[in-house]
Structure 1
């Protein structure tokens, strides 16, 4: 793999910061002024802007690049400013509420610390900007980014064409491709920079927007929220070693900001201001859906549970004039709409469960999935948070999403595959325990923040009893408290996640989906093949990576997808090319010029496809197959020759 260091990727990192900060921040400033609460949602909004911009550009036939993103952002800035003037003209905007200096400073400190902690862990796990993961999902993502960069198109249908499907959520791909184009770097570098920035910037900023909203901009909560966003392996780390699920990482990183923006609608001061807030909420929710539909479901579910929990709390406590009958009607309507959405997004995938309900309940509560080591310090904060969250003003909004996420995780990870309840509620998330655990992690960060704030408040009460030197001692306690939070975010669970990230980025000598020999051969393809070459190989042995790594086109850029009749014939009979004239006819029809034979080791899990490739294994040199390159015993490259003349004959 290319020995690129992070310092070499500074131009790409700078481009990435511009892509993920400027569009969203500019729109927020034009629409709301310098509202830090909303600026925390700006990175997530930037992804939404990029996703929608790439979609519209693809539909209009406009090239996707940084200039297109800038032009679309300018249009949205004008719209946001116009809406702002519309709100001001009605007087709905009310008196501007400026957050206290302490809250603003705490949010920035929390974001800086969270970005540093997460950035360090993710950079270590990625092993450098020139390294990629040898996983099933990375096959399509690596190829899709190169595909988008080459053709300047990151629309959902164009990204979907890599997998030979009509539509694929493009949020992550639109960002990665525009960063790669803006910085003129290889797709692998663009991918790693994108993932680093989504994990270290978008995720903690998004979480801080939610913490600000739910915990009333308390400085201690804002510092803790930024740091503790890096303490949970579910988001962002698990998506960088399981799958790898970059679109899920993107969507789930946006979820807190999207949920917060929905809650801001209820805080608006009048009809026009509410309309302005609604536009932002819809934009963030839609952008989250373009990152991944799963993430959109999480936003809808969390907001629905919060609304219902608040509604019934007010009704029961007499803070609302609403009748019980009307409350039941609203609850039923929300449940019915949610049920329809749940049924419409079924995936019919069946990832196996991890263990029994009791074990998964423990793993969920302890935030330590799949037998990973428990972080005792984080567990202590969570236990304190579980015990004290009921006393928080926004208790319903904190407890309801957490309870729902915990039930979803325990059922999905702890119940057997044939369980009806599991298939009803977990199917939209592929019945996948990792995705479900990530949802739980999103809901647990605010709970852990409550635990941290509870400890801080106890410390303040103890300090109040100190007769002398209280101010100096308070400074010491503040520094110690921040240091303790950083240590919590460096616990053994996160360390295990980082180690898992590294493991999927280290090719084995033998026996893997992609071996070190196969990687070395693919990295030479730009020198051993013609620039217009088309390669064929069994994608389940890793040959599909050849396009993303070298830029040489392959028949199959992904493992799934249908083959044409000629492609199917080659997959069955290429090895018989010297004796079967029809093989050369198929070679000519497809336009194949090279074949990759990567041995017999294939992906080790059921892909749900019955495609086989006996004609692409155990190839031998002959009249029409010339051995061009070989690395080790199993990685071989053949040139296909003489078929034009034979086909003509």
Structure 2
């Protein structure tokens, strides 16, 4: 399949992410930018909660089930709005619709039309840029990331589609011995994309990730920035252009790991922060308690069920916002403009926020034994990487570096906005601790939530760097526009082209602003992002020596579909990628993930399968698990690791195995020493 052939499915995938949440958003009164920014997070929330409820009730997962949930919730919201007499209210009265028809003498179009076109451009530009870069990275819609975690991710999507069970409470390790909690929101959404489009799981993964990176993320960024600075066309355009300029997100998350659940959760994070900012009133656009609670309920469940660590990041980034709010209200209280009772409620809220946040932080920290990532640099190097938007050794972005430094300088002169610097400092501090601090309790306390893995914290940095960079860019552009406007240039141009001077005084700076925004956007696409793309692309190519699946191994999956019954289980060493037979063909496998708990019979198959017919107990395990076929993908393992396996080390000479098909070093065997499939044990 080519990208052109996949285009209709891509539009369906966009609909899968946006339409359910948009329906629910309209039911609660959302409109404009708020509606579309909240739409995808709301869809994720409804889908992931519906999956849990369906698991409890024993209802099969499907697109229709999610649709029914959305309709039921939308009707309930409409009834509640009617009951409390708020059917005529709007949560966001300053959204981009409806378009005003006021005409300015300096403009050839109504002001509202110009502003609306700016907002559309702010959405379209990053969507096109990020989509193109994702496509170039992935190469072909059916390609997969040749990485460790992808064995689980792809097989988990297949598990959802095959079993109809999509609950985060049971997705676990996909084996009978180890079912348990795993945040399944990303897998739920990709399964919906696959079911709605009819595409293969690899194609659905590619399309879903493009929607997350190119649609959900820019809209979320624009929503957050609009809560901070307002709906200025300049800031919204700058946000859109810069949202695709960070190598660390969204691009790093489709390369490292791969951390697809983090991709989804971090794409939602700016919306959650925007809700907090507007509720506490520290930005320009504010919202009341009731509206904020509604938005929080729409967004937070999806964020937490995409990846809980990002919910912890929200608490960390929100702490400076809460402290700034308390400080501001305290000043008002001392001036007598805030009542004592209200101040007591403010202190109570802040105390609960910090206390609950600390408890959640401690609960979310992982055991040190699984937090194996070592520091890789000095503290000063880590700080430099953050300032240059070049974490984890990425190539520096000079444009983002300049805008970040300028933004920090501007914010330092605005005490009411220092909480933005606080958010940035939290992100910087966590990254420095993970990447540059030695092993110990201090490091594990602060970054154990993220496995002490600097890559995960690097991906969070654009969320807190973007506001700083946008504010720096806006300040620079407005100063340049003011210089042009107050100079003699507009008058000279007006005289030369016989145009009213008032129009030139408006259109010349406006044209310069637009050109400056485009220049900033183009500059942000240089250096860091192209290098990240070029480094990630080889990991999505099928070659003779691919880390996870080679060209020959992929061909063997075709043989599996031809020779292996649909209800059969296939053995494969998961370290070699053989376990992806489940994701690609639907045939179950002994070990659907590289790690995980195994039953005694599974352990026998994973160590002694080639001894079928000779070693007591092997055939019993074969019959009881219905494992009459086996894949041998050699000894090459993902990540150039080496875990010696004895299960198929003598496959070629084993009398109990019979070769069914081969391609290069990859082979499919039938286990003939144990009778035939379906035979009683």
Same-fold call, TM cutoff 0.5: yes
For residue 667 of structure 2, give the secondary structure of its aligned residue in structure 1: strand
Matched, 1:222 2:253: no
Matched, 1:461 2:485: no
Q: Within 5 Å, give how 1:40-79 maps onto structure 2.
A: 40-79=37-76
Matched, 1:175 2:192: no
For residue 659 of structure 2, give the secondary structure of its aligned residue in structure 1: strand
Residue aligning to 2:327: 312
Residue aligning to 1:194: 208
The counterpart of 1:432, out of the listed 439, 447, 453, is 453
Q: Within 5 Å, give how 1:218-257 maps onto structure 2.
A: 218-257=232-271
C-alpha offsets along residues 312-334 of structure 1, whole Å, 9 cap, x if unaligned? 24535867648899987765543
Q: Give the CA RMSD over aligned residues.
A: 2.9
Q: Within 5 Å, give how 1:416-495 maps onto structure 2.
A: 416=438, 418-464=439-485, 465=487, 466-468=489-491, 469=493, 470=504, 471-495=506-530
1:86 Cα shift?
4.5
Where structure 1 has 5 or more consecutive residues not aligned to the other structure, the ranges are none
Change beyond 3 A, Cα 1:373–1:25: same
Residue aligning to 1:109: 121
CA separation in 2, counterparts of 1:178 and 1:414? Answer: 40
Native 8 Å contact 1:179 1:190 kept in 2: yes
Q: Within 5 Å, give how 1:371-410 maps onto structure 2.
A: 371-392=393-414, 395-410=417-432
C-alpha offsets along residues 59-108 of structure 1, whole Å, 9 cap, x if unaligned? 22333222222211112212332343345459987994555736554333
Native 8 Å contact 1:44 1:206 kept in 2: no
C-alpha offsets along residues 374-419 of structure 1, whole Å, 9 cap, x if unaligned? 1112211111112112345851341221111110110011112x23
Native 8 Å contact 2:29 2:91 kept in 1: no
CA separation in 2, counterparts of 1:33 and 1:144? Answer: 34
CA separation in 1, counterparts of 2:560 and 2:414? Answer: 60
Change beyond 3 A, Cα 1:389–1:622: same
1:508 Cα shift?
4.7
1:6 Cα shift?
1.4
1:284 Cα shift?
0.9
Native 8 Å contact 1:539 1:559 kept in 2: yes
Q: For structure 1, which segment, 455-464 or 404-413, has the greater mean C-alpha deviation from structure 2 after superposition?
A: 455-464
1:109 Cα shift?
2.0
For residue 670 of structure 2, give the secondary structure of its aligned residue in structure 1: strand
CA separation in 1, counterparts of 2:25 and 2:546? Answer: 51
The counterpart of 2:670, out of the listed 620, 623, 639, is 639
For residue 544 of structure 1, give the secondary structure of its aligned residue in structure 2: helix
Native 8 Å contact 1:621 1:627 kept in 2: no
Change beyond 3 A, Cα 1:500–1:79: farther
Residue aligning to 1:123: 135
Q: Within 5 Å, give how 1:221-620 maps onto structure 2.
A: 221-266=235-280, 274-315=289-330, 321=338, 332-348=351-367, 349-392=371-414, 395-416=417-438, 418-464=439-485, 465=487, 466-468=489-491, 469=493, 470=504, 471-510=506-545, 512-604=547-639, 613-620=645-652
For residue 617 of structure 2, give the secondary structure of its aligned residue in structure 1: helix
Change beyond 3 A, Cα 1:200–1:369: same
CA separation in 1, counterparts of 2:461 and 2:530? Answer: 19
C-alpha offsets along residues 545-577 of structure 1, whole Å, 9 cap, x if unaligned? 111122222111101122211221222222222
C-alpha offsets along residues 12-33 of structure 1, whole Å, 9 cap, x if unaligned? 2122121111111122222125
Change beyond 3 A, Cα 1:88–1:390: farther
Residue aligning to 2:221: 207
CA separation in 2, counterparts of 1:342 and 1:511? Answer: 38
For residue 233 of structure 1, give the secondary structure of its aligned residue in structure 2: coil
Residue aligning to 1:159: 171
Change beyond 3 A, Cα 1:561–1:190: same
CA separation in 2, counterparts of 1:363 and 1:451? Answer: 18
Where structure 2 has 5 or more consecutive residues not aligned to the other structure, the ranges are 101-111, 494-503
CA separation in 2, counterparts of 1:648 and 1:24? Answer: 50
> How high is the TM-score relative to the length of structure 2?
0.87
For residue 149 of structure 2, give the secondary structure of its aligned residue in structure 1: helix
Change beyond 3 A, Cα 1:638–1:67: same
Residue aligning to 1:145: 157
Change beyond 3 A, Cα 1:423–1:293: same
Change beyond 3 A, Cα 1:334–1:158: closer
C-alpha offsets along residues 335-375 of structure 1, whole Å, 9 cap, x if unaligned? 33221111101112222222121111111111102222111
Q: For structure 1, which segment, 437-446 or 634-643, has the greater mean C-alpha deviation from structure 2 after superposition?
A: 634-643
Q: For structure 1, which segment, 519-528 or 455-464, has the greater mean C-alpha deviation from structure 2 after superposition?
A: 519-528
Change beyond 3 A, Cα 1:605–1:311: farther
CA separation in 2, counterparts of 1:94 and 1:55? Answer: 29
For residue 73 of structure 1, give the secondary structure of its aligned residue in structure 2: helix
1:117 Cα shift?
1.3
Native 8 Å contact 1:65 1:182 kept in 2: no
Q: How many residues align?
A: 639
Native 8 Å contact 1:596 1:637 kept in 2: yes
C-alpha offsets along residues 106-152 of structure 1, whole Å, 9 cap, x if unaligned? 33321111111111111111112111111111111111112212233
For residue 172 of structure 2, give the secondary structure of its aligned residue in structure 1: helix
CA separation in 2, counterparts of 1:95 and 1:68? Answer: 30
Native 8 Å contact 2:431 2:458 kept in 1: yes
Native 8 Å contact 1:261 1:277 kept in 2: yes
C-alpha offsets along residues 428-471 of structure 1, whole Å, 9 cap, x if unaligned? 11111011111222100111111110121112111212342434
